[in-house]
């Protein structure tokens, strides 16, 4: 996992051309005008999901992991906390759903990080994550999740 500011996106271009495209999309798009929904960047290989929500208490949440896609989670507006950990053989509380590309885990996160506006987190298939959490007080967040295919 990687957590940083969009100002430092150039440092991660070495992860490959798909990351370059994802970061260019984040840097060049005015998210204040985009509605919630899915936006293709490069077919099913790279796409964005724009969402708006109120942050939630971590008590009722579970960590998730993916197999087919890497998440680049970018906070366009607001601030949230994200719980995270390493996937090290834990047993899923909800089995992997290949169509939705996720599985859930009941363990509590080992780490919590705060994502402020214009910051991002990258979660690889080896990372567990619990996004959308309240950072201090509940607040509205607009987040863009770029999905990058691992294949």
pLDDT of amino acid 1: 96
Smallest CA-to-CA distance from 128 within 95, 67, 86 is with 86
Smallest CA-to-CA distance from 79 within 112, 50, 116 is with 116
Tokens of 105: 């885990």
Domains in the chain: boundaries: 2-149
CATH classification number, 2-149, choose in 3.30.360.10, 2.60.120.370, 1.20.1730.10, 3.30.70.360: 2.60.120.370
What is the rounded distance in angstroms from the CA atom of residue 150 to the CA atom of residue 68? Answer: 6
pTM for the predicted model, two decimal places: 0.96
Q: 144 by DSSP, 3-state: which?
A: strand
pLDDT of amino acid 134: 97
What is the rounded distance in angstroms from the CA atom of residue 148 to the CA atom of residue 140? Answer: 25
pLDDT of amino acid 76: 98
Helix (H) or strand (E) holding 25: helix 17-28
Q: Could you read off the pLDDT of 53-90 as tens digits, one per residue?
A: 999 999 999 999 999 999 999 999 999 999 999 999 99
What percent of the chain has pLDDT above 70? 100
CB-hemisphere CA count at 13 Å for 55?
Answer: 26
What percent of the chain has pLDDT above 90? 99
What is the rounded distance in angstroms from the CA atom of residue 67 to the CA atom of residue 150? Answer: 8
> Running DSSP on this structure, what letter comes out for residue 93?
S
pLDDT of amino acid 122: 98
pLDDT of amino acid 87: 97
């Amino acid at each position: 996992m990687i957590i940083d500011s969009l100002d430092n996106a150039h440092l991660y271009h070495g992860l490959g051309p798909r990351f370059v495209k994802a970061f260019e999309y984040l840097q060049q798009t005015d998210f204040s005008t985009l509605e919630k929904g899915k936006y293709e960047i490069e077919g099913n290989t790279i796409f964005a999901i724009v969402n708006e929500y109120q942050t939630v208490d971590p008590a009722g949440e579970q960590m998730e992991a993916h197999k087919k896609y890497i998440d680049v989670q970018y906070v366009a507006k607001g601030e949230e906390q994200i719980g995270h950990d390493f996937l090290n053989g834990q047993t899923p509380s909800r089995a992997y759903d290949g169509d939705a590309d996720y599985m859930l885990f009941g363990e509590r996160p080992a780490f919590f990080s705060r994502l402020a506006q214009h910051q991002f987190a990258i979660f690889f298939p080896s990372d567990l994550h619990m996004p959308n959490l309240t950072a201090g007080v509940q607040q509205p967040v607009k987040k863009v999740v770029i999905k990058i295919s691992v294949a």
